[in-house]
């Protein structure tokens, strides 16, 4: 029963880590997409690359700014899981 609770906890923690890792990239891309969509609707410009290139730039900037902290977050989570493996196999 203890292992089941542990795995449910790991799954919950994995979902939280995924949300924390994706949010700094997805939220600015979403905001940029909405703003560009409003500008395109107001100006009646229907060029697809006009919305894609700025969002790509926003994602690249966010990865440059937050990529290191995202990697540390994921690496710490992975290290915690691997450190727990001997305890799970011993019981």
Mean pLDDT of the region 59-67: 96
DSSP 36-59: HHHHHHHHT---HHHHHHHHHHHH
Task: Give how many domains the chain has, as a whole number.
Answer: 1
Residue 38 is encoded by which pair of tokens?
A: 């409003």
State the Cα–Cα distance between residues 74 and 47, nearest whole angstrom.
37
pLDDT tens sequence across 78-91: 999 999 888 877 75
State the Cα–Cα distance between residues 67 and 63, nearest whole angstrom.
5
State the Cα–Cα distance between residues 11 and 14, nearest whole angstrom.
5
For residue 1, what pLDDT is reported? 58
- Domain enclosing residue 49, as ranges: 2-90
Is the model's pLDDT at 12 over the cut of 70?
yes
């Amino acid at each position: 029963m203890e292992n089941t609770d542990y795995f449910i906890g790991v799954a919950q923690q994995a979902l939280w880590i995924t949300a924390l890792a994706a949010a700094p990239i997805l939220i600015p891309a979403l905001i940029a997409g909405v703003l560009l969509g409003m500008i395109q609707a107001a100006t009646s410009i229907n060029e697809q690359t006009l919305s894609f290139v700025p969002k790509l730039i926003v994602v690249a900037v966010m990865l440059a700014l937050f990529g290191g902290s995202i990697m540390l977050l994921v690496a710490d989570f992975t290290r915690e899981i691997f450190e727990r493996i001997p305890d799970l196999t011993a019981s």
